[in-house]
Structure 1
Amino acid sequence: MPAAPAARSSPHRRAPLRRPRPHRPRGAMPVVGSTVVAGGGARGKVRTFAPAGSVPEDRSIGSAVGSLACRLARRGRIARDSASAPSPGAETGYPSSPCARADGTPRGSTASSTSATRPVMTVARTTPRCSVGEGRRTPSTSVLPTRRGVSAIAAHAVQPSTMSVPAALKNEDPLLPINQLDGSDAPRRHLSRGDWRPTLIAAVLAGGAVAVLILAFASVSPFERAVVLESLTGTVYWIAAAFIGACGTIAALMLTTVSLMEHLDTRRMGPRFLFHLRLTVIAAIATIALSVAALLLTTFPLAGGVDVQPPRWQVDSVFFGLQGLTALMVGSFAVVLSSLYATIADIFANLPQSWVEEIMAEEEEEEREEEAAERAEHAAADAEQEADRAEGAATRAEDVVGIGGRATNGRPEGGAR
């Protein structure tokens, strides 16, 4: 359900169903998150997890506290229009003491509102913008008893048939309406002027490439174009081959980045990351297509002979076609590089702290191992030198003993001279 966004909060609210695995007549509804509740009375502990949405644990306040207040009011744990005091955020480093209030009629037969506030300021307030369809039961939840008094609530995607949206809200709601999918240009609508800087740099580079081509080939006469095409064809061939290999590798790496997003802190990644990630892949594919088109142009037979000359229009078409495709290839590849830089910068800026600590620990461990290896090598060299000195001393001692023995054997018996 769309709701007014708040700081560190999702722009949508999820309505829990009665059972963890409800009836699915219109296909599977994947689990989007889970909420764990502990405690009783007016005070409780709540934690929200959404690994399917690349959020290991939700740091926001309203997304967990509002649903908790509705659940407690529906189950009769707290009275309607009364405040409860859960304590979320301690495990994620964002402790808070909000005050949640659920307003509405019993069993949620009409639209109700929930708010999560701190003692001094309101941090989140949501109001469901939908009415319950006739003949359908209001989505609710059931407590799943587990050990130590902890209850888990499984949140599922709500079927489109369980809610009916007033016609006025469909036109007035500035956020994502119910029963409608978000457009592909949603990240682009939330970009700031500074987020377009890499794309503007790529446009400037593309314009520079076009200007260089115009200046380089403007002085070529129509009679010399066939000669110039011989060298231009070989150059374009190698440039296109290099662009195909580079863009194929970059596109594969971007898809790998998408698979690693569940390990990154995506709560801090804004629309800029998603926009440049998609722009990198699209520009890489466009560069590959332009390179293939340029390679196809190089296959046209343009070499002339004594009695055979290619048509003038064919030479001119290939000449200007290769120039245009080369300019487009350079421009699209500039978009790939600029968007790739923006994407990598966002990834490195949002690396998990555990990864950074692990990398630093590995570097320190490698340095210690290298120092220990150097010390062991020096100790082995010193031991070898000591062994050489001991061997030399033993050799000298043997020489002295041999000289003394020869002198004793050469002395006359009885002391006679």
Structure 2
Amino acid sequence: MDILFVVLIGAIASVLANLNIAVFNDGLRPIVGEHIDGRLKRRELGLTAFAISFGLVIGFGIPFTITASIILIHSILLGTDIIGLITPKNKWGTPVAAAVGGLYGWGLLVGLEGFVKLFEYLPINFLDPMGQVGTPVVVAFTVFPALAVAMQFSIKKGILTFLVTALVRQLAVFFNEQGFLSLGGNTITLNQEGMALIAGMIFLFTFAMREKQEEGSSVDLASLFSDKVKSIQKNVPFFMILGGLIAGATNLAVMAGDPISLSLLAEGKVSEAGLAAAARAIGFVPLIASTAIATGVYSPVGFTLIFVVGFFSPNVWVALIIGAIVIFLEVMLLGVIARFLDKYPGVRNSGENIRSAMTKILEVALLIGGANAANMIIPGLGLFFIAGFYLINEIAGRPIVRMAVGPVGAIAVGIIANILAVLGIM
């Protein structure tokens, strides 16, 4: 079932990209829109997709997938973006995209299983230390609402949000230790990161909704891009099938939608992973909705709520059905969401700030996690390598994205450790 789900996801996502219906990379959506409007040739579109997404697949998606032994959705859907947009959009190109996309999904899953088995035969199995890469991410992720508030509104409001978030987290820890909360004689344990995240998100959206539209500056998204919204809605059956499959695959613990929930899922913390996925989904709604409404090109994962469905569903079949329903509702409510974003420009503008805040948090957390993992593999030399790797990458103009430096560096240290062990100098 795991293989079937991943193969179908790869095939369908490649077809949606090939037909200019949906792409995963947020930065590609406006470019695909340019192609649809006739201002960009297909060949240029394919080359742009490769240039934007290939580095993220190799430097971001694959390392996380190997680290957790669970597919990070970026590693498959960034790849299907490339496959779908490079193949011609014609009677033979679309079936080829489906076949190659399905084969790519199969190769990703089978290759992952092969990697895990390969680690068992190494002189130094560094798979367990690699689990440290995601450990700081879970805690650091709760900071992103405060950072987004500071970026969009003011440093003072950002500091206030940060302090309240920290206080709420510590109160949750205190309540858990003292056993203050109980229901029917059973002690209730609060997830401290989840409580802190909720507090931060309340502050973020309170500030955003208080930001009023300046008179005469309104951009009527609902009417201006009504034809774009209709073009997305007519393809809703495709989104329902893909949304159901992704929710099902998430329920099977085959894949996750972001590094935070991926790390939690790898630790067996399914409810915490669902909560983290929910916070991310709520934060990304303004960004995904805005780009979709303006371009007529949707995301194959919608607002990412299908991952939340996958985590909290009791079984794979319920996840499949509810996932399809959720993404149907998302698509059909795009016009309502457009009007909401018109009414609250602060919420609309928060989309890019939320994305930037998450990126900055992940850059720091993953660098720390990578350093911890590398130091567990080779004490001392691991920290030396990660520090040098990060600085050289910066000086070289960041050929590897900052978020990937920690995971890639830790994998490199694991390989070096095995080479040293073979040579007998470790």
TM-score range, shorter chain: under 0.3
Which of the two has higher C-alpha Rg? 1
- The structure carrying a bigger strand percent of its residues is 1
Specify which structure has the bigger relative contact order, considering alpha-carbon pairs within 8 angstroms and separated by 6 or more residues.
2
Q: TM-score, normalised by structure 2?
A: 0.23
- The structure carrying a bigger helix percent of its residues is 2
